[in-house]
């Protein structure tokens, strides 16, 4: 096998490993009224630096998680938006994003945690 073929196989293997170990997820906990689910690909607005200037009600809390080093907010956010759609929401308000590391591990247990509130417009 020539060096180009070995390089391609190595890159493919690295990509597969990153995909396997990338385990971004999102959990929803209802804290307010229930509404019918919207399609998984519905439009969800994201507020991070200011609150919405429209009236809204809070539907619940979202917790997004990812493997630090493999997942980023850009990978966790789509899963959070999908859960917001399933909750009948119109938007999410990001509350916090933090990275936690297990100092006694080799880095495999490090986590990215994102908290948000699912809201629905009342207008």
Q: Do 84 and 93 touch, CB atoms closer than 8 A?
A: no
pLDDT digits (tens, 9 = 90+) for 3-46: 655 555 554 444 444 444 457 888 999 999 999 999 999 999 99
The average pLDDT across 93-111 equals 68
In the chain, where the domains are located: 24-121
pTM: 0.72
Alpha-carbon distance of 67 to 75, in angstroms, equals 10
pLDDT digits (tens, 9 = 90+) for 49-99: 899 999 999 999 999 888 756 667 778 889 999 999 999 999 999 998 777
CATH C-level class of 24-121? alpha beta
Residue 108 has pLDDT above 70, yes or no: no
Give ∠ CA 46-49-52 in degrees, rounded to 5: 60
């Amino acid at each position: 096998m020539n060096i180009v073929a070995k390089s391609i196989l190595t890159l493919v293997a690295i990509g597969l490993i990153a995909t396997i170990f990338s385990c971004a997820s999102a959990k929803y906990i209802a804290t307010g009224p229930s509404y019918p689910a919207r399609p998984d690909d519905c439009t969800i607005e994201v507020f991070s630096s200011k609150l919405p200037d429209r009236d809204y009600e809070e539907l619940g809390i979202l917790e997004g998680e990812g493997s630090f080093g493999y997942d980023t907010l850009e990978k966790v956010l789509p899963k959070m938006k999908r859960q917001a759609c399933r909750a009948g929401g119109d938007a999410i308000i990001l509350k916090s994003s933090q990275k936690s590391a297990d100092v006694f591990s080799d880095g495999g247990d490090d986590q990215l945690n994102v908290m948000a509130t699912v809201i629905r417009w009342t207008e």
